[in-house]
Every structure is written in C-alpha cells, then in structure tokens.
Amino acid sequence: MQAQAFQLDAAIAVRRKPSRLWLFIGDRLTRSRLRFTAASTIVVASLLLALSFATTSNNRTANGRGLGSDYLAFYDAGTILNQHGLDRLYDLNLQSQLYHAHLPGEPEHASLPYANAPFFAAMLRPLALLSYAWSYATWTSLSLLLFAGAFVLVWKTSGLPEKHRTFGLLVALSFEPFLIECLHGGQISAFGLIWISLAIYYGKLGRQWAAGLALSVCVYKPTLLPLILPMLLIMRQWRTLGGFAIGTALLALVSLVAVGPNACIDYLRMLAGYVGKSTAAGGGGFQTHKFIDLNSFLKLIGIPSMIAWAMLACVGAMVLRSVWLGRPKDNESAQRLLPIAWAAAITWTLVLNVYVGVYDSVLVIPAVVLTCGALLRRANDTGRNLPLRLRCLLLALWVLPWFSGLIARDYGVQPFTIALLALGVYQLNLLQRRAMQPAVVTRGHVAHRESDLELFSPLAAEAASPAVR
C-alpha cells in the first residue's frame, strides 16, 4: 500500500506542478512570520481600542465615530426592557429616540435597530444598567473570553497538536472580522460562535442531546442555521436534532416569559421584513458592500433579483447533491465524517444565505480548524504539512477582510465571498473523498487518507518534514 501511495505521489507531481507564484507564497508561509504578523496586528488594534476609550466624549471617539459602533443597538435593547416596558422592545421609533439620546449629533434619519431574538435582549439587561462606555468595555471582555473558549473547544475536537494551540489562537484573534468588527465594532458574533463550538464539541464526544441544546441557542440569529440543520439530518444526528427542537421550544418559552407575547409577535414580523428586504431588488436598505453572502455578491455585480435567486438555487442544489453523495452509510461512518461535515456546513452557511455581515464570518474559524484537523493528525504535524493551495487559501481568508469592503463599495465586487466559496468547494471535495475511500496510507511521516493525496501539491510533500522554520 505504501509503495502504491508513493507511485501515486509521483503521478500527481507530474500532473500538478505548482507555479513559481505558488512556490513563492508557500515558501513564506512560515510560523515565525505568521506569529509576528498576528501579534503586531493585535497590539496595534489593542492600542487603537484603548485610545478610543481614552478619547471618548458623549459616547463619541476623537475621530467622530460612536464608541463601539453597533453595540449601541444591543445596549438600547437592554435599556428598553429595563426602563420602557417589555412590549416596546421592537418599537423602531423608541429605538431611534434612544439612539439619538446616546449618540447626539447623528443625522435625523440615522438609526440602529435591534434585530435579534427576545431572549438575547433579556440577557443584555444587566449590561444596560451600566453606563454605555462601561457596558461596551464589559462586552468586549466577554467577547474575548467567548472567542477564546470557542477556539479551544474546536481545537480539542479537531485533534490538532496541543503544542500549536496558542499559535493558532493568536492567528485567530488577529482575524479582522473579530478584531475590528466584533471588538471595535461592538458586534455579538462571538456569542453565536461559542454555542456552535459547543455543539461541535459535544457532538464529537457523542453527547448528541447536549449538542442539540447548545445549537438551539443560535436561534437568537436564525441566519446561522439554514445549512447546519440539513447537514445534521444527512449525517444521521437524530438526537442532536431532537435536542435542538427541545432547546428551541424552551427558548421560545423563555422569550414569552421575558418580554411577553406582543414583543415576540413583533419579532416575527421584523424577521419577515428583513427577509423581504434582503430578497428585494437593490440593497433593500442594507449596505450591501458590508455583506459577504452570495446573495449580496450577486446584487453588487448587478444581477437582477430573480436571476440571482435562480443562481442561488442552482448552487444550493449542487451543494446538497455533493453532501448527499458523501452521506454516511452507518452511524460509525457518520461520526467519522461529522467534523468535516460541520466545517463544510458552516462555510456554506456564510455563502448561501439571505444576508450575512462580515462580522459573522468569525464562524469560519471552527470550519478552518476542523478542516486542518482532518488533514493533520500527528503530533509533529504543522501548518507546513497542509496542501499548498489550502495554505494560500487560508492566507487569502485572513488578508481579504482588511480591504474587501472597500473593493466591494468602490468596484462592486466582494472578493471575500469568492474566497469563502473556494473554501466551501474544497471542503465538499474533502468530504466526498473521505466518504468514498476511508483507508489510511502514509505519506512521509504524515498519515493521510488515500482520498486526500490528490489534494496535495508537490511542494506539500517537500514541506512535510519535522523541521519548521
């Protein structure tokens, strides 16, 4: 078997010789360079965040922007429940009044509505008792803890070497959607990240009911779930789906008790309105360049709404077909394929959706970790053992968010969506190969499934050595 594997390697090397550009990029993706870049990015962003707090006056920073930007919507939601009555949680006029009261000087038409589930607003009530600056600082600290906890859970699930976990966390913390959009921008994506990570972790341990209960908390933002639930169905995770149903029912009951039936009905109406806006021609009131889903991508390049939805349906059908072809035949196969199935479902959730803000792309972190874990299993494996094309793709995913919004605004193309599409295709390919050929062979000092060999470029074979610069 080993001789056959090396013969296959030679055939692949002839068929897939990497270009000089691939070699140039791959040679520079070393751990020391990545560590320095990530650490420098975090330090600069932390200093800028501290400067924002130090120069804040009337909730406005020295550059004229509101402190915490989007966090004001969540603070106002807690304030409404604390001071203005439960039934008025989704009162847009009241939300606008509070927005201008907390951030005077904004244009009259400006507003920042709260658009998440009622039970999450109830969780924000203690934070709304603090002054806005202290509330935002507290939430920033909580986001850091939630993000780090989620990363550790997924890393344990992936089977990646523990000695590289700190390095991986450093790179993840420097990811622009978290570092800027969530910490500087006050977004709450780390909350969804921790519950999805818990669901993945419990699922790997075989605690499927607990996994479903954890996943149910993500109904605070239903757009996080449209492809994850079908994936669980195809992967035969019946108890996880049962736990999800029970958890969702309990959270619905909590919402009714916390804010009353009128506010819950208002929430459902608001959701329907958001779906209508996102599916309408044009931007529907959204800043489309700040969204990374394929729906927004097609709108940006001027595709008519009906044609865009037809294209989305075609892509969705192809994705479901690929997952169906890779479906497990028994429970043992389902458990083996579950991590990479989770990775593919998360990535495609970010792409095939009605609207996904760039801040929610922090969910790609567990997808990336699980994908790497599916390819690296030994204690002496490192990122240098990953396929070259995957490493370059991961580099693109890290770099693009820093300027993709500007490109989308000025030129009408969102390159970050293209990178996510490429990652999703890669993961589906890996899932299909794992499902069809589960045998394990050895390539150098690294153990891989036979189906993974064609995913490797010749440089990856050369790089697969214990020595790492």
Q: Region 167-196: what's the mean pLDDT?
A: 96
pTM: 0.86
Looking at every residue in the chain, the average pLDDT score rounds to 85
pLDDT of residue 386: 80
pLDDT tens across 331-360, in order?
888 888 899 999 999 999 999 998 899 999
Average pLDDT in the 267-290 region? 73
Query: Which pLDDT score, from 0 to 100, does residue 438 have?
Result: 54
Confidence of residue 381 (pLDDT cuts 50, 70, 90): low
Domain definitions of the chain by residue range = 2-463
245-278: pLDDT as tens digits: 999 999 999 999 999 999 999 999 998 887 766 6
What are the residues whose beta carbons fall under 8 Å from the beta carbon of 295, sequence distance 6 or more? 278, 279, 308, 309, 312, 353, 354, 355
- pLDDT for the residue 324: 83
Is 70 exceeded by the pLDDT of residue 327?
A: yes
Q: What percent of the chain has pLDDT over 90?
A: 59
- What DSSP designation does 175 have? -
| H/E run at residue 449 | strand 446-449
Higher pLDDT, 389 or 87: 87
- Give residue-wise pLDDT tens across range 108-121: 888 899 999 999 99
For residues 210-237, give the mean pLDDT: 94
Residue 468, pLDDT above cutoff 80: no
Q: Which residue has the higher pLDDT, 365 or 326?
A: 365
Q: Element (H or E) spanning 298, and its range? A: helix 294-300
Concatenated DSSP letters of 23-80: HHHHHH--HHHHHHHHHHHHHHHHHHHHHHHHT-BTTB-TTSPBTTTTHHHHHHHHHH
